[in-house]
Structure 1
Amino acid sequence: MKNKLLHTTIFNIPFFWVALVFCSSVLSQERSNQQNGLETYFTETRDFKNQNKINLALESLDKAAALAEDTQNSKALVDCYHKFALLYLELDKRETTIFYWDRADVILKELAYPYGNAVHKYIEATLLYDSGLFFQGIFMLNEAKRLSNDRNLLNNILLLEAKIFVSIEKFENAEVSYNSLIVNQDVFEKEYLQTQAYLGLTSLNLQNEDLEESIKNGLMALEVAEANQFTKEIFEANELLGKAYEKLEKYDLSLVYNRNLLSLKDSVFTIEKVKAESKAADKIQFEFMADEISRQDAKIEDLNESANRSEITAILTSAFLTIISLLAVSLFRNNQIKLKTNDLLQTKNRELQSARDAAIQAMEAKTNFLSTVSHELRTPLYAVTGLAHLLLEENPSQHQKEHLKSLKFSGDYLLNFINDILQINKIDADKLEPLSMEFSLKKVLADVISSLHQSAKENKTKLILDYDEDIPKHLMSDPLKISQIFMNLVGNAIKFTRGGQVEVIAKLLNREEEDVKIYFEVKDNGIGISNEQQQNIFDSFEQGSIQINREYGGTGLGLTIVKSLLGLFNSKIQLKSILGKGSSFFFELDLKSKDSIVDDLTFEITEKNYDLNDLHVLVVEDNKINQVITKKMLSKRGISCDLADNGTLAVEMTAENDYDGILMDIHMPGISGVEATIEIRKFDKDIPIIALTAISLDDSLEGFYAAGCNDVVTKPFKPDVFYQKIGENILEHKIKKSVS
């Protein structure tokens, strides 16, 4: 008996483990099958949606939702609700979209599901975009990106971002996003995203009147859409191509695509399709509501099985009906309030958008006007200052010399006035941003004082620099803008201080590792400013009074520029002044120190006196007077030149002749100097090119260098600077070339 029992036990132990392993394998296989089933339904939903078969997409998604509920898969159920929300948005059923979005929100509150939360934010951003709340939409998309790095979701976020950028007229950002989607490697929607990107670029190019590029992208969109049966996108591509060819006045091709539209409307966008989509949508929504009621009935039946069945049933039924009635009334009232509120918000949004658009247009008009005026004024100023310089070098009589000096002074004064206005306009138009580069603060301040020394001497004013040696020698910021701030402050102090002193103070306030806070002050013992005048002294063209303006001159823009430049550094100028005793302007700057940089040997860059004889250059200039002046200035230093009236001719002459260098005007009819430089660099990478430009608001020095220019000289230029640049770039290049 004992042996028999032992035998039975030994026999049953392996059988138990085999059974356990078998059951585990069966359960694992079942879970795998369920997951595969969900993925299949999700793939079908995605494909049907992209092919504009919304009714079939809804049916596949309904099967996925049923499977998720049966298996109690909360994450899959959230995914289903999100996909329902997006599908109903395609059908323009916004209320139903919000209903499913709310259902997902309830589950997400009890669930740790980052991807689900990211999609939730993405749908919220889509609803905000649909409502015209573009900047809130961008904020929500950034929140979504922070929660998940799912590639398909990130690509769809990028697509929505591009659409928002178009709506807020950030066309360059939109173009970058669309181009990124063209080369996407999305596992699920690669072709669909490419089609959307091509369509976005087509519309963008059409809006910007780049018709050839619009047609190119439209044809690519049509090709990908037709290959993948994206019927909605095929329709849109034909529509855009018809418009593009019509604008290009190719009416025969426009007619072809417009006929395609009619054919598509008859075959794809039919009444039967709309009915089928509406029927499927309503059926699924009705079934969902019915299931909710069934679940409530099941709970009531469970309670009926307990004691006091009839009493509990009566109480629960009464309570349920009461709650449903109250809920229905509440929902109806809330919906009415919501509709009215939405109408009011949309009206206000449209009003705000119109006001914003008007303000932007006004700012752009002002910017373009000042940009054009500054350029147009600089061109004749080049003639005035250039001719004055040439005449002064030709040994004029004493009384002529006085007149010429006055003429040159007036030209320089007018140029400074234009530069001040342009500087203010650049800041107002957000064209300026502070750079971050290593520099010596002490050298910047010393250079400012040195450059203004002559002005101080003429006013019999003493300039003093009080510099704290504890300030780190190597700082990171924008030395040019800091220099501009002190040029204006110190220059202003000198102008209103005669026979006194101007002190420039720099003190270290605080230092924590690399963060440095420095206190700056420019104080004088000049005429001072009254309390009334201090209220508006930083306003444009404001100098305190008409009498001061007449006596001391100037544009009244210096302090406005200082205030605006300090705003770029998140700093604020402050003022203390007593009338008749002097003024003190002070502020603080947060900078970065770089003590790791080893001090270089100190040296001064000295200007060389170049022998420019026998150089032969090409002068590219469309203005005849400027041609004469530039040629005369070159010949005075022994430089011969050829003249080109436009960029196209400059490219041809450079290809046919051997020049030591090129002096390239930037603003010309036809192709610009930048475009001409790019063309020349295609066949001559070596020839020195110096850009000569009456630089305007939209000009970018970085753009000149990127095009291939070696250096830039702004017109009207100082002759010494002009010859120095020619020596540094053209002569030294010629010498190096001859040695090698």
Structure 2
Amino acid sequence: MKNLNLILILLCCFLNFGFQNPKIDEAQPKPEQIKELLFEAEKSIDMMLFDKAHNQLNKALEYSRRIDNKRYIALTSSILSRWYYVRHNYKKGITELERAISIQREIGDEAGLAYSYVMYGKLLNGKGDKDRALKYFNLAQKYYEKEDNKEQLAVIALNKGILLINDEKTRERAKAQLNNAEIYFKDSENYYELSRLHYYLARLAQYEGNLEKAEESAEGALHIAKSGGFDSMTMYSYALISEIEEDRGNPALALENLKNANEIREAVFNVNKEALASEANAKLGVDALKTTLDELTVQNAEQERTLKVNKLTTILSVALITILSLLTLSLYKNNNLRARANELLQKKNSELVLAKENAEKASLAKAQFLTTITHELRTPLYAVTGLTHLLLEESPTESQKEHLNSLKFSGEYLLSLINNILDLNKLEANKVEIVNSEFDLEKRISDVLVALKNSADERNTKLHFDFDSKIPKKLKGDPLKVSQILINLIGNSIKFTENGDIWIKVKQTRVEDKNIFLHFEIKDNGEGIGKEKQKAIFENFTQGSTQINRKFGGTGLGLSIVKNLLSLLGSEIDLESELGEGSKFQFDLTFEAPEAEIKKIAKPVEIPDEELTNDIMEGKNILVVEDNKINQMITRKILEKNKVICDVADNGSIAIEKVKNNEFDLILMDIHMPGISGIEATIEIRKFDETIPIIALTAVTLDDNLDEFYLNGFNDIIPKPYKTEEFFHKINKYLAAKETAV
């Protein structure tokens, strides 16, 4: 008998060894295989087979990278974000989704972006950010309406209904969305989403007090979920039926359905636990079986030892019972003490949670206040700068001109202050995200120097630019944040350097694989900073001294913004300075060098800047959409001085009618207006005119919503108040491009 057991074990070892070493398929994976894997992964998520779904997604990602298919790499990240969403890990889900959206925007994958926007909306709703969630659902809806994809429109309507259903104020809107989803889902075979629809229809009926209808819809959700093998929806449906039966006064049925829900929850947990155990056994392989053989070998010896131990156990049992009796009494007293301590800790914890929530509300209120007050400040500031420009063009006397130039400087200074406060607010609220895109660093810095040249000339200060020729032409990183850092640092040097020089140097220090390490240095021979002030200079609202503040002005926010931006990019600022001898700021940044030039998307023909003159505007018809009468007058006069034929619309509805009945060469559109907004008006105009240039002329803070403007049909954006040169440059560019296209 022992020999037979040994033979069976050796046979199992042989078979297991054979299965543990399959022949590796080296064939190149095909896109169809990846597509099938992603489809199966979504089914596994629906059935709460999380480990299986994770393995399928890992395999799909490996295949996608092997054939360098960026579309499927991004789609894998999108579906992985759904895996995290179902497991309520919203932070990691958003991280995966942002990675996917970055790739999809880079390759122009509109279908993938729409899918990701829907998923982003669900994640934001899970985090409680309902306003942003609705915006992303709307962005996805635009695409699916264009494609007439009723299946996805149904999914969006369902998720909007879920987002709105819990708030009594928005429950009617939720009902409308769920009804829309029901219409779109007609004849659909997407049984998972159908089960969700029936579940939330039941939840809506329960809120309305129609328990009969709620039970009918919940039973429908349960039937579909059980037929499709969707354990999560089966579990939720049982739990909802339990609530409904409790509301109807049927405690026995409520308890029965609650038990069914708990059984499924435990079964799902065990399935995933068994999957982990199976994976561990597969990794152990032959070693596991060898251990089993060793255990059988010592089994007989263990049995003999057990007989001897039994006698000793009997003696020890009596002593153990006595000890346990004493321990029981001691534990009883300890438990009473622990219960009182836990009660006290829970009370303190509740107080801390309440304090944390109040602090978060205060921080949110501050951020919202700054955003609102900024818009309110920008609107009258637009009137100040606009009227100043008009008065300067009406041949003022020398004394008047001096006063007007002072007024213009004050307006520009106030605008700079507003922008700095906004930048600092976004950094403190952790709303600044790192963008990774391809750009020309040398050109980016040159553009910054061109923008600051007038300021340097006014101070009779020369700018010297030294750029290491070894640095690749194209780099991957965040060009906007690099520009912000350099504008603040170079602008600071110009401010404190008169009749002097400023040197800007960029040097390559080393290369590791694709990573390029660069050293930046901004040096001047201006006022300098005392040793005792050098550490504090990077704090908010701090300057070198009271005398410097009086002499040069400013708020002391620029260097604080630089420090925060560099920290976000994983770097630090270093300062060397002597009072009266100048300052040197330096920092290091890492960029990625692309392996090859990415094919550029064809862009419209652009007219060189030197060929753009205000003569292009002569005789052109421009519509100004603006509800503020003062702003209407200012914009109209600025345009008519350049021989523009100008028409005005007080709101979005009038603008739509005017565009339908007249020929315009360009539209300047405000955003916040009574009635329909500028965005809604632009959407309507694009339905019958896709070519007319529409520029947003607005005091809105354009920090996180650029995609929304461009996706809804705007060609460009001019934030108010604007510099007149920028205003004319953008208008001339689009007028010239339209003439070239014709």
Normalised by the length of structure 2, the TM-score is 0.63
Structure 1 pair 305–552 and aligned structure 2 pair: CA distance change class (3 A): closer
The secondary structure found in structure 1 opposite 2:616 is coil
Percent identical among aligned pairs is 43
* Aligned residue among 629, 642, 648 for 1:643: 648
- After TM superposition, give the deviation of residue 623 of structure 1 in Å: 0.5
The answer for the alignment partner of 1:210 in structure 2 is: 170
CA distance in 2, matches of 1:422, 1:641: 33
Counterparts of 1:68-87 in structure 2, within 5 Å, are: none
> What is the aligned length?
553
Structure 1 pair 524–550 and aligned structure 2 pair: CA distance change class (3 A): same
Structure 1 pair 731–341 and aligned structure 2 pair: CA distance change class (3 A): farther
* Aligned residue among 124, 128, 142 for 1:169: 128
RMSD: 5.2
- After TM superposition, give the deviation of residue 307 of structure 1 in Å: 6.6
* Aligned residue among 606, 612, 620 for 1:608: 612
CA distance in 1, matches of 2:305, 2:547: 100
The secondary structure found in structure 1 opposite 2:610 is coil
Structure 1 pair 398–681 and aligned structure 2 pair: CA distance change class (3 A): same
CA deviations on 1:143-185 (whole Å, 9 max, x unpaired) are xx9xxxxxxxxxxxxxx99999657424478779999xxxxxx
Structure 1 pair 213–631 and aligned structure 2 pair: CA distance change class (3 A): same
Is residue 250 of structure 2 the alignment partner of residue 270 of structure 1?
A: yes
User: What are the ranges of 5 or more consecutive residues in structure 1 without an aligned counterpart?
Assistant: 1-82, 87-112, 119-133, 146-159, 180-193, 244-259, 284-301
CA distance in 2, matches of 1:643, 1:735: 26
Is residue 446 of structure 2 the alignment partner of residue 468 of structure 1?
A: no
Structure 1 pair 575–340 and aligned structure 2 pair: CA distance change class (3 A): farther
Structure 1 pair 138–730 and aligned structure 2 pair: CA distance change class (3 A): same
The answer for the alignment partner of 2:26 in structure 1 is: none
Structure 1 pair 434–312 and aligned structure 2 pair: CA distance change class (3 A): closer
The answer for the alignment partner of 1:505 in structure 2 is: 505
CA deviations on 1:317-371 (whole Å, 9 max, x unpaired) are 6588679879978997897788667656654553443233222222221122211
The answer for the alignment partner of 2:496 in structure 1 is: 496
The answer for the alignment partner of 2:205 in structure 1 is: 238
Counterparts of 1:35-54 in structure 2, within 5 Å, are: none
Structure 1 pair 493–266 and aligned structure 2 pair: CA distance change class (3 A): closer
Counterparts of 1:119-268 in structure 2, within 5 Å, are: 138=89, 168-171=127-130, 201-202=161-162, 204-207=164-167, 209-216=169-176, 236-241=203-208, 268=248
CA deviations on 1:634-685 (whole Å, 9 max, x unpaired) are 1112211221111122223222333222110112233221121112212222
Counterparts of 1:96-135 in structure 2, within 5 Å, are: none
8 Å Cα contact 1:455/1:494 also seen in 2: yes
CA distance in 1, matches of 2:470, 2:305: 87
- After TM superposition, give the deviation of residue 513 of structure 1 in Å: 2.3
* Aligned residue among 616, 622, 628 for 2:627: 622
8 Å Cα contact 2:420/2:557 also seen in 1: yes
Q: Which amino acid aligns with 1:660?
A: D
The answer for the alignment partner of 1:690 in structure 2 is: 695
* Aligned residue among 680, 683, 686 for 1:681: 686
8 Å Cα contact 2:241/2:257 also seen in 1: no
Larger Rg: 1
The secondary structure found in structure 2 opposite 1:371 is helix
Structure 1 pair 491–341 and aligned structure 2 pair: CA distance change class (3 A): same
The answer for the alignment partner of 1:733 in structure 2 is: 738
Is residue 532 of structure 2 the alignment partner of residue 532 of structure 1?
A: yes
Counterparts of 1:641-680 in structure 2, within 5 Å, are: 641-680=646-685
The answer for the alignment partner of 1:387 in structure 2 is: 387
- After TM superposition, give the deviation of residue 527 of structure 1 in Å: 2.1
8 Å Cα contact 1:218/1:240 also seen in 2: no
The secondary structure found in structure 2 opposite 1:696 is coil
The answer for the alignment partner of 1:74 in structure 2 is: none
Normalised by the length of structure 1, the TM-score is 0.63
The secondary structure found in structure 2 opposite 1:675 is helix
The answer for the alignment partner of 2:515 in structure 1 is: 515
8 Å Cα contact 2:206/2:244 also seen in 1: no
Is residue 676 of structure 2 the alignment partner of residue 709 of structure 1?
A: no
- After TM superposition, give the deviation of residue 386 of structure 1 in Å: 1.2
The secondary structure found in structure 1 opposite 2:690 is coil
CA distance in 2, matches of 1:222, 1:327: 63
Q: Which amino acid aligns with 2:384?
A: V
Structure 1 pair 426–262 and aligned structure 2 pair: CA distance change class (3 A): closer
8 Å Cα contact 1:367/1:697 also seen in 2: no
8 Å Cα contact 2:617/2:735 also seen in 1: no
- After TM superposition, give the deviation of residue 590 of structure 1 in Å: 0.9
CA deviations on 1:615-647 (whole Å, 9 max, x unpaired) are 112210011011111111111122112211111
- After TM superposition, give the deviation of residue 489 of structure 1 in Å: 0.8
Counterparts of 1:267-416 in structure 2, within 5 Å, are: 268-273=248-253, 311=311, 314-315=314-315, 318=318, 343=343, 346-347=346-347, 349-416=349-416
Q: Which amino acid aligns with 2:533?
A: Q
Structure 1 pair 272–545 and aligned structure 2 pair: CA distance change class (3 A): same
- After TM superposition, give the deviation of residue 559 of structure 1 in Å: 0.7
8 Å Cα contact 2:488/2:558 also seen in 1: yes
Structure 1 pair 307–205 and aligned structure 2 pair: CA distance change class (3 A): closer
Q: Which amino acid aligns with 2:468?
A: D
CA distance in 1, matches of 2:388, 2:407: 7
Structure 1 pair 477–623 and aligned structure 2 pair: CA distance change class (3 A): same
Q: Which amino acid aligns with 2:471?
A: I
The secondary structure found in structure 1 opposite 2:538 is coil
